[in-house]
A and B are shown apart, each in its own frame.
Chain A
Amino acid sequence: MQFIRVNMSAQTVRVEDVPRDYVGLGGRGLTSIMINNEVPPTCDPLGPENKLIFAPGLLSGTSLVNTSRISIGAKSPLTGTIKESNAGGTVAAALGKLGITAIIVEGLAPQGKLFNLIIDQNGNAVLQAADDFKGMRTYALVERLLQDHGEKNGVLCIGPAGEYQLASASIQTSDVDGRPCRAAGRGGLGAVMGVKGIKAIVISRQGKNPDAIADPESFKESAKVFAKAVKDHPFSGQMLGALGTAGLVSAVNSIGAFPSYNATKGVFEGWKKISGEVLAETIQKRGGQTTHMGCSQCIIRCSNVFVDEGGKYVTASLEYETIWSMGGMPGIDDLDVIARLDFLSDDIGLDTINTGVAIGVAMDAGYKEFGDGQAAIELMEEIAKGTEIGKVLGNGPAAVGKHFNHHRVPVVKGQSIAAYDPRGMQGNGVTYATSPMGADHTAGNLVGAYLGGVLNPLEAEGQVKASRKAQIAMASLDCTGLCMLAGAALAAPDVSEALLKMINAKLGTQLGADDIPALGIRVLKAELEFNRNAGFTSKDDRLAKFFYEEPLPPHNKVFVVTDEDLDSTFDFE
Chain B
Amino acid sequence: MKIRVKLFGTLPQRYPGYDASQGLEVEIPDGAKVKELLARLKIFASDGGLVVIDNLVVQHDDALKEGVSVRIFQSAFGG
Interface status of A250 (Cβ within 8 A of chain B): yes
Contact A239 B74 (CB under 8 A): yes
Q: Does A493 contact B (CB under 8 A)?
A: no
Over the window 57-79 of chain B, the binary record of Cβ atoms lying under 8 Å from chain A Cβ atoms (1 yes, 0 no) is 11100000000000101111111
Please report the C-alpha to C-alpha distance between residue A255 and residue B51 in the assembled complex, in whole angstroms: 10
Distance from A218 Cβ to chain B, minimum over Cβ atoms (Å): 28
A248 contacts chain B at the CB level, 8 A cutoff: yes
Q: Determine whether the beta carbon of B79 is less than 8 Å from that of A451.
A: no
Question: How far is B79's CA from A451's CA once the two chains are assembled, in angstroms?
Answer: 13
Residue of B nearest to A453 (CB): B57
Tell me the complex Cα distance, A451–B77, Å.
8
Q: Mark A461-482, 1 if CB is under 8 A from B, else 0.
A: 0000000000000000000000
**Chain A hits for B77, CB < 8 A:** 235, 445, 447-448, 485, 487-488
A251 at the interface (CB under 8 A from B): yes
Contacting residues, chain A, for B47 (C-beta < 8 A): 234
Given A234-B46, A235-B74, decide whether A245 and B56 contact each other with a Cβ distance below 8 A: no
B28 within 8 A of A: no
**Residues of the B chain whose Cβ atoms lie less than 8 Å from the Cβ of A451:** 50, 57, 73, 75-76
Q: Are B75 and A320 in contact (CB under 8 A)?
A: no
> Across the interface, which residues of B come within 8 angstroms of A234, CB to CB?
46-48, 74-75
| 8 Å CB interface, A268-316 against B | 275-277
B59 proximity list for chain A (CB < 8 A): 453
Q: Determine the distance from Cα of A227 to Cα of B56 in the docked complex, in whole angstroms.
A: 34
The proximity string for A residues 392-430 relative to B, scoring 1 for CB distances below 8 Å and 0 otherwise, is 000000000000000000000000000100000000000
Q: CB distance A235 to B48 under 8 Å?
A: yes
Q: Judging by beta carbons under 8 Å apart, are B78 and A484 in contact?
A: yes
Q: Is A320 a contact partner of B79 (Cβ separation < 8 A)?
A: yes
Most interface-central of A277, A319, A485 (chain B CB within 10 A): A277
* Chain B residues positioned under 8 Å from A73 (CB to CB): none
Does A12 sit within 8 A of B, measured CB to CB?
no
Indicate which residue in A239, A276, A321 contacts B75 across the interface (CB closer than 8 Å). A239
The answer to whether the Cβ of A27 comes within 8 Å of any Cβ in the partner chain is no
Residues of A within 8 A of B52 (CB): 251, 254-255
Which residue of chain A is the closest to B21 with respect to CB atoms?
Answer: A272
Q: Which of B74, B78, B79 is in CB contact (< 8 Å) with A238?
A: B74
By secondary structure, the B interface counts as loop
| Inter-subunit contact A450/B57 (CB<8 Å) | yes
In the complex, A441 has a CB within 8 A of chain B = yes
A474 to chain B, nearest CB (A): 10
Q: Which of A247, A441, A453 is the one whose CB lies under 8 Å from B76?
A: A247
Q: A234-B47, A242-B10 given as contacts; is B56 within 8 A of A247 (CB)?
A: no
Q: Is B76's CB under 8 angstroms from A248's CB?
A: yes
Contact digits for B21-59, partner A, Cβ 8 Å, 1 yes 0 no: 000000000000000000000000011101010011111
A447 to B46, CA, bound (A): 18
Bound complex: CA A441 to CA B10 (Å): 25
| A447→B73 contact, CB < 8 A | no
Q: A235-B75, A451-B76, A485-B78 are in contact. Are A255 and B55 (CB under 8 A)?
A: yes
Q: Chain B's nearest CB lies how many Å from the CB of A419?
A: 7
Mark each residue of chain B from 1 to 20: 1 if its CB lies under 8 Å from any CB of chain A, else 0: 00000001110100000001
Question: CB-CB contacts of A222-248 with B at 8 A, as 1s and 0s?
Answer: 000000000000110011001101111
Return B12 CB to nearest CB of chain A, in Å.
Answer: 7
Is there an interface contact between B76 and A447, defined as CB atoms closer than 8 Å? yes
Question: At the interface, yes or no: A436 with Cβ under 8 Å from chain B?
Answer: no
Q: A254, A419, A447 — which one has the most chain B CB atoms within 10 A of its CB?
A: A254
B9:A239 contact, CB within 8 angstroms: yes
A555 within 8 A of B: yes
Contact with B50, one of A246, A276, A320, A452 (Cβ below 8 angstroms) = A452
- A555 with B55, Cβ < 8 A, contacts A242-B9, A247-B9, A251-B50 known: yes
Q: Which residues of A contact B55 (CB under 8 A)?
A: 254-256, 267, 554-555
18 contacts between A and B (CB under 8 A): A234-B74, A235-B48, A242-B9, A246-B79, A248-B76, A248-B79, A251-B8, A254-B52, A267-B55, A277-B20, A447-B76, A448-B76, A450-B57, A451-B50, A451-B75, A452-B50, A453-B58, A485-B78
By a beta-carbon cutoff of 8 Å, the part of chain A in contact with chain B is 234-235, 238-239, 242-243, 245-248, 250-251, 254-256, 267, 275-277, 319-321, 419, 441-442, 445, 447-448, 450-453, 484-485, 487-488, 554-555
Closest 8 CB pairs of A and B: A245-B79, A320-B79, A448-B77, A445-B78, A256-B55, A453-B57, A254-B52, A488-B77
Given pairs A235-B75, A238-B74, A277-B12, 13 additional interface contacts (CB within 8 A): A234-B48, A235-B48, A235-B76, A247-B8, A254-B73, A255-B52, A256-B55, A276-B9, A441-B78, A452-B48, A488-B75, A488-B77, A554-B55
